[in-house]
Structure formats: structure tokens, C-alpha cells
Amino acid sequence: MALLRGMACSFSMLLLLAELRPTISEWQSQVYNYEPMPFGLTEEEQKRVLDGQGELWSEYFAMWTQVEYLAHPRSMALAERLWTPFDAVAGFDDFRARLEVHSHDMDAKCIT
């Protein structure tokens, strides 16, 4: 692993959204409650974790609206978790209140 060699790296969260079919709220909660920092790293190793990413994998999406449906607003939940220190996360309910504002923005841009 790169961190053990003293190198910087990034981590990713694999979102197999096309294979699992929980409700939108369940996925948002699962993504939001995800701790992006790998468990067991020393403080020095944590400093070398540069970023994170989430992937959307599927064999086939029949329509672009499927991609948008599966990617958003989960991508917003993951972005907030990646950019917010773990001890500053207020919780999923607090996130949902902020998400309402972004939902209106997505509606205005015709993002499903």
C-alpha cells in the first residue's frame, strides 16, 4: 500500500448502485455515514490521504436519467463527507436539511 511506503494516495468508495435497490433515502444515509478515512491509519498516514472519490458502476444504463437518479444526490452526500472532518459531521438529518436547497437547484437544471 502506498501509504505504508510514505507516499500520498487517494481512496475511493465503490457504489454498486445498479445492483442494490434500497430507497434513495437509505442510499443517501449509507453514503453520508460512510467514513472515508481508512480505519487503523496513524495520524501521519492520514495526512497523506489526499482525497477520495465515488464511482458509479453498472453494465448498462438505458437512459441518462438513470445515471442522474443513481448518482444524485448521493454524490452530494459523499462530497460533504469527503470535505468535512469526521468530528464536524452533524449527522444525516442535518445534511438532509441542506440537501433540500440543492434539490431545488437540481430541479431547476432538470437533473432527475
pLDDT at 40: 84
pLDDT at 18: 45
Per-residue pLDDT tens over the stretch 82-106: 888 777 877 888 888 888 888 888 8
Q: Which residue from 60, 79, 53, 80 is spatially nearest to 17, judged by alpha carbons? A: 60
Per-residue pLDDT tens over the stretch 43-90: 888 888 888 887 777 778 888 888 887 787 778 888 888 888 777 877
The better pLDDT of the pair 62, 2 is held by: 62
Report the C-alpha gap between 62 and 49 in whole angstroms. 36
pLDDT at 42: 87
Report the C-alpha gap between 61 and 103 in whole angstroms. 22
